[in-house]
């Protein structure tokens, strides 16, 4: 079993399931249809995501309805924050450079 949220979402099919659930809750059958994967494969990935509380599940009649739970993804957001600052600085430096280049052209 994966030990953290990073490991849980490292698998591309799991990220694809999360992308599907961003639009709203879906049953296993709907996810199978949308993704074109066998039902056991989708269920296996949903179990991992559920074990990490990245998705939650409720029963409606004979269907299991899954929905995204973004709270555990905060760990990812926290980890990415310093990288966002680097990107912002890089973009700001690029903007300054382009402004200086534009000023030279307009003289």
For 30-83, what is each residue's pLDDT tens digit?
Answer: 999 999 999 999 999 999 999 999 999 999 888 899 999 999 999 888 988 988
Q: Determine the Cα–Cα distance for residues 65 and 62; give it in Å rounded to an integer.
A: 10
Q: How confident is the model at residue 3 (pLDDT cuts 50, 70, 90)?
A: low
Q: How many CB atoms lie within 10 A of CB 13?
A: 14
Question: What's the pLDDT score for residue 90?
Answer: 80
pLDDT above 70 (res 24): yes
Record the tokens describing residue 105, joined without a space. 């052209």
The strand pair at 26-27 and 63-68 is best described as antiparallel
User: 3-class DSSP state for residue 90?
Assistant: helix
pTM: 0.76
Q: Determine the Cα–Cα distance for residues 94 and 65; give it in Å rounded to an integer.
A: 46
pLDDT above 50 (res 96): yes
Record the tokens describing residue 28, joined without a space. 């296993």
Question: What's the pLDDT score for residue 2?
Answer: 46
């Amino acid at each position: 079993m994966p030990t953290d949220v990073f490991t849980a979402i490292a698998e591309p099919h799991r990220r694809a399931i999360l992308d599907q659930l961003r639009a709203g809750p879906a049953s296993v059958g709907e996810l199978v249809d949308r993704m074109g994967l066998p039902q056991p494969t989708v269920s296996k990935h949903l179990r991992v995501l559920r074990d990490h509380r990245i998705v939650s599940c409720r029963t409606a009649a004979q269907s299991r309805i899954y929905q995204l739970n973004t709270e555990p993804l905060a760990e990812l957001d926290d980890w990415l924050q310093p990288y966002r600052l680097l990107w912002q600085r890089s973009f700001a430096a690029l903007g300054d450079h382009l402004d200086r280049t534009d000023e030279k052209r307009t003289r």
